[in-house]
Amino acid sequence: MASESRLYTFSADTQEKLRKFRLGTSRAKDPQAVVYQIDKHTLEIAQADDTIYTNVQELGDELPDHSPRFILLSYPLTLPSGRLSVPYVLLYYLPVTCNAEVRMLYAGAKELMRNTAEVGKVIEIAEVEELETIEEKLGGVA
């Protein structure tokens, strides 16, 4: 068992929310995203709020300027072949302005979050503006 799985925790409720979101978004017609954060005192990874964002711009407006977040994103797009694809990815939001302690906290949990959420790819973003080009970054995911 990896050391990060002993350090960070997911409640049973959080694990169920992760599973339901993953299964519920596989056939979505619109982008869907949920934001997760780490409680610095308990080291529990949990959903930041109960909001499911369907607009990337709204999601960007809600992200903090100085604190990292894990964002699970299901983003339907049409591939050049004309086929519909719904990549399920983890956006690792790590603003350049956050302090080193919080950076390390999230860096240590990234792979655990990836594996627990069962995402296909991790995309690191440092600025909210990078959300505007997310479709380009997802183009290679099939």
pLDDT-derived band at 69, boundaries 50, 70, 90: very high
pTM (predicted TM-score): 0.90
The C-alpha atoms of residue 91 and residue 94 are separated, in whole angstroms, by 9
Of the candidates 45, 54, 58, 49, which has an alpha carbon nearest to the alpha carbon of residue 24? 54
pLDDT tens, position by position, 95-140? 999 999 999 999 999 999 999 999 989 999 999 999 988 988 887 5
CA 91 to chain centre: 4
Q: How many CB atoms lie within 10 A of CB 20?
A: 10
The C-alpha atoms of residue 15 and residue 52 are separated, in whole angstroms, by 16
